[in-house]
Structure 1
Amino acid sequence: MDIQALQSTLRDFAAARHWQPFHTPKNLSTALMVEAAELVEIFQWMTAEQSQTAQSDPGTKEKIADEVADVLLYLLQVADHCAIDIPSAVANKLVKNAVKHPVP
C-alpha cells in the first residue's frame, strides 16, 4: 500500500467535493471515532467466540471490511493534516512499546 498516494487520492476526493474547510484534525479525528464505533457495533452483542468466527459470514465480513476501511481512511487523513510520517511514527511507537512492555 502506497500511503502517500492514498493520502493524495483522499485530498483530491475531498477537494473535488469542496470538503477542505471541514477536514480539520478535530473533525477528522471525531469522524474516525464514529467509524471505530461502527466497527465495534458489529461485534457488540457477540460472544468472544462468535467474534472470532464472524468473518465466516460473507455479509458480516463485508461490513467489517467497510468499517476497517473507513477507520483507516480517516486515520490517514488525520496523519496527513497533522504532517505525521506514518512509517516513522509506527517504527518509533514499536520501539517505545518494546521498552514499556519488555519480554518477561
Structure 2
Amino acid sequence: MSEIEALAERIRAFAVVRDWEQFHTPKNLALALAGEVGELAAELQWRTDAQITEAAATRAPELDRVSDEMADVLIYLVRLADVLDVDLIEAANAKIDRNEQRYPEHLARGSNEKYDRLRDTQE
C-alpha cells in the first residue's frame, strides 16, 4: 500500500466514525479544498518571496501555520480523490505526460507563456 493509499484509508476511517461520509460529496469536498487553498494563500499573502524562503530556511513559527494549511489542502484533495476513485499518482503522471507534449523544452525553457502561445522561433 502506498503512503497516499494509507493516508486515504486513515482519512476515510476518520470520516466514517464521525458519520461525515454524508457530507463528503464531491462538490462539498471541492469547495472545502478551495477554502483551504484560500487559507494557505492568506498565510503567504503579504509576505515577500524572500520572507517566505527565510521562514522556511529557519523553520520560523509562522511556517507551522503554513504547514497546517498545506496539510488541510492535501487531506481534502486525498479525500476527494478517494470519493471519486481517482489514483492521484496516476493522474499526476498522466498530466505531466500531457504537459511534456504541450510544453516542449526547446520552446518552454525560461518562458511563462501558456502552451497555446508558445511558438517555435526557429521556423
> Which TM-score band (shorter chain)?
over 0.9
Q: State the shift of 1:57 in Å.
A: 5.0
Structure 1 position 92 matched with structure 2 position 103: no
Tell me which residue corresponds to 1:75. 77
Q: Distance in 2 between matches of 1:60 and 1:13?
A: 27
Q: State the AA in 2 paired with 1:39.
A: L
Tell me which residue corresponds to 2:105. 103
Tell me which residue corresponds to 2:32. 31
Bigger relative contact order, structure 1 or 2, given CA contacts below 8 A and separation 6+? 1
Instruction: Provide the secondary structure at the position in 2 that maps to 1:45.
Output: coil
TM value normalised by structure 1: 0.92
User: What is the CA RMSD across the aligned residues, in angstroms?
Assistant: 1.2
Identity %: 38
Segments ≥4 residues shifted beyond 3 Å: none
Q: Deviations over 1:32-86 (max 9, x none)?
A: 1111111100111112322222323521111111011110010001111111011
- Aligned pair count reads 104
Instruction: Provide the secondary structure at the position in 2 that maps to 1:18.
Output: coil
Which structure is larger by alpha-carbon Rg, 1 or 2? 2
Q: Distance in 2 between matches of 1:40 and 1:99?
A: 30
Against the structure 1 CA distance between its residues 58 and 47, is the aligned structure 2 distance closer, same or farther, given a 3 Å change threshold? closer
More helix by share: 1
Q: Distance in 1 between matches of 2:88 and 2:48?
A: 33
Instruction: Provide the secondary structure at the position in 2 that maps to 1:58.
Output: coil
